[in-house]
Amino acid sequence: MRTPVQNAQLALLLEVTGTPKPGNVDRAREYPDLRFEHFMAGAVGANDGLRMVGTGEPVGESFERAVAGMADQRGGNTQFGALLLLVPLVRASATGELTPEHAAEVVEETTVADAAGFYRAFEHVDMGIGDPPKGMEDLDVRRGADAIPELEARELTLEDVLAASVEYDGVAREWVSRFSRSFETAERIVSANGPVPDRAARAFLEALASEPDTFVVKRHDEATAREVTEAARAALRGDVDPETLAEELVAAEVNPGTTADLVAAGLFIALEDGLAV
């Protein structure tokens, strides 16, 4: 029987093997500087951090270690957002039943030190982050560890930091909404048929069709994100070939990364719930 840590790593691997995932790296499509192999290496590299949180180490410190290991490959950031979802979910599963309520308890128990670990994680990857929310200029994550004194002065926990980002960041939104879309994605995967990577690809398309991807909004704009959502809906209706859509989004360098993060979290929840592989 696999441990939560092993299932988290397997979830990262299964997520990237699913195809087509329009706009994202998968086993059939890559970007010139971001390839399938980088995601595989990232999943392996994250193991130490995932093991830490699974054995009771602090959430923030574990997340930083997972990101540092993930980044130990030549592609740069591959799974930062997925790890930000998986770390609290692994802690929840390792310390009790994996439910939205217990996951929310993990979030509520985060500390200022956890927030500091989160900020240190940004020193390991180039995230291409935009400007911080109003009132958070001194807490710009691009400052990395330099922002920690301000964190401590304001006594902000990791939950506090992420709650300030919910309007524009889908991963942060999961932290304060009991991982609602992650659990919803898990239900889609469990209720589907066929090989797990195929189920993951279908769940990706369904999640992409349900609401605009916040990573696309950050890298492009709201209009582009809404166009991608409409295209995903057309693909689900059968009006557009998902393979064609995948090629078009990769060519346009439109990468719905937040949706991929949700699928990784959904896969983990499904695996912990007994999904057979």
Q: What is the pLDDT of residues 239-264, one digit of tens each?
A: 999 999 999 999 999 999 999 999 99
CA distance 108 to 102: 10
pLDDT per residue as tens digits for the range 3-41: 999 999 999 999 999 999 999 999 999 999 999 999 999
- On whether residue 50 sits in a domain, the answer given is yes
- On whether residue 238 sits in a domain, the answer given is no
Confidence band of 127 (pLDDT split at 50, 70, 90): confident
- On whether residue 21 sits in a domain, the answer given is yes
Averaged pLDDT for residues 228-244: 97
CA distance 272 to 176: 21
- On whether residue 250 sits in a domain, the answer given is no
Which secondary-structure segment (H or E) carries 53?
helix 47-54
140: domain range? 4-197+260-272
Quote the pTM value. Answer: 0.97
Confidence band of 215 (pLDDT split at 50, 70, 90): very high
What token pair was written down for 38?
């980088």
- On whether residue 92 sits in a domain, the answer given is yes
- On whether residue 192 sits in a domain, the answer given is yes
Mean pLDDT for the chain overall: 96
CATH at 129: 1.10.4200.10
Tally of domains in the chain? 1
CA distance 186 to 198: 14
| pLDDT above 90 (res 129) | no
| pLDDT above 90 (res 130) | no
- On whether residue 237 sits in a domain, the answer given is no
Quote the pLDDT of residue 256: 98
Beta bridge partners of 34: 31
- On whether residue 189 sits in a domain, the answer given is yes
| pLDDT above 80 (res 265) | yes
Burial class of residue 31, CB neighbours in 10 A (0-12, 13-18, 19+)? middle
Quote the pLDDT of residue 131: 76
